Amino acid sequence: MILDAFSARMSLGVVTLTLFLLFSASYGKTKSPYTGWWALALLEFMLGNAGFLLNGTPHQVWANPVGNVLVVAGAFSIWAGARTLRDLRAAPWLLALGPLVTGVASALEDPANNIWSGGAVYLAMITVGVGLAARDLWHFKPTHSEISKAMSMVAWFATLYFLARFIVFVTFGPDSSSFQGYFGAGPLGLVTTVLLVAASFTMTTLSNDQLIRGLRERASRDHLTGLLNRGTFMDLAGAELKRLRADGSSVAVVLADLDHFKAVNDEHGHRAGDAALKAFAEACRESVRSTDLVGRYGGEEFVLFLPGATQKRAEDIALEISKRMATMEVPGGGAFPTVSYGVTSSTPATADLTFMIEVADAALYSAKAQGRNRIVGANRLEAATIADEARS
């Protein structure tokens, strides 16, 4: 039995419109990227299928290709949303490529008389978009693992269905009984409606996970520099130190303080001071590894926890940070303040985080007493100025 295509599409349109309104309202409250992409995908599906309702009319020549483009864009919007759950972004050119290729293929195959103009490309691009979404959802590790598994299964089922639809279309053609009976407009409308409802059922939980992770991230970061705040840094560094005790490798702590920072605020205003703090944070991010921890310890003082780093390596990182900061452009001209550093290192077996910070703080105090703009290691008496080391 072949389902009525018009009725199936109308039912799908009503369901899609309802879901779009619900998720648009949710996005307005939560600003969850995943919810936003899902709402956009629903809108694209709804408008694309509305275009297909004009098949058989004089408007088919433009409505059918536009419908193909919008439905493919919806599939890739689902992928973009799945990427945001993993704190990743889909490249804009990749999001545009599928719809663009589909539009060109549809326009080249007599869309005025052929409702399946560009059909093979259209079906292939839908399969690719949904398949990419399924892959990212499979690798997503949320708090609610059962919800994630359910969403992954829905996405994989959709991928397999659209892949089978593409294969039958290419093998037997759109007018075959196999295609019409299982993959035509009627069956597709029914299957898509079920998939959208099933997927939307899990959306709220996954979007809430994303929202909660975002709130936790903001709560753990200094709002100005984007670095870890003091409390989060101490928690993460302490946990990492415990883990490192099993390895026996070295660990280093660096305390850094921007020289004459009060004078910067007094002479140039707090905006200049904020720019200096941001510049130092950016120099840190460009100089350390992804496994290193960097936090704003307080005011103009910063702390770095460098697992596996020797004393020499830690001092080299401090020097690299100051070199990078010296090359940055200062808003309004001038120069950013110099930086003084106190560095200490130890083995995890004997290391205590609080004690290491105290030792690094004493070395930092010595650096300031010796004239600032220098790195002082807690395990050696001599101190080399940054300017001297940069010239050598």
Q: Which residues are catalytically annotated?
A: 300
Q: Which residues contact 336 (CB under 8 A, 6 or more apart)?
A: 275, 276, 279, 280, 325, 326, 328, 330
**Structure token pair of residue 120:** 């093979």
C-alpha distance from residue 250 to each of 30, 48, 218, 267, 364 (Å): 44, 59, 31, 42, 20
**C-alpha closest to that of 340 among 313, 315, 310, 358:** 315
The span from the CA of 231 to the CA of 1, in Å, is 65
User: For 357, phi and psi rounded to 5 degrees?
Assistant: -65, -40
**Structure token pair of residue 16:** 């899609």
The span from the CA of 151 to the CA of 81, in Å, is 13
Residue type, 217: E
Q: What is the CA radius of gyration of the chain?
A: 29
Residue at token pair 């892949």: 163
Q: Are 257 and 297 in contact (CB under 8 A)?
A: no
Pairing verdict, β 374-377 and 339-346:
parallel
Report DSSP letters for 21-62, one per residue. Answer: HHHHHHHHHH--HHHHHHHHHHHHHHHHHHHHTTTTSTTHHH
Q: Which residues of 18-43 are buried (b: 16+ CB within 10 A; e: fewer)?
A: ebbebbbebbeebebbbbbbbbbbbb
The span from the CA of 153 to the CA of 211, in Å, is 23
The span from the CA of 384 to the CA of 367, in Å, is 10
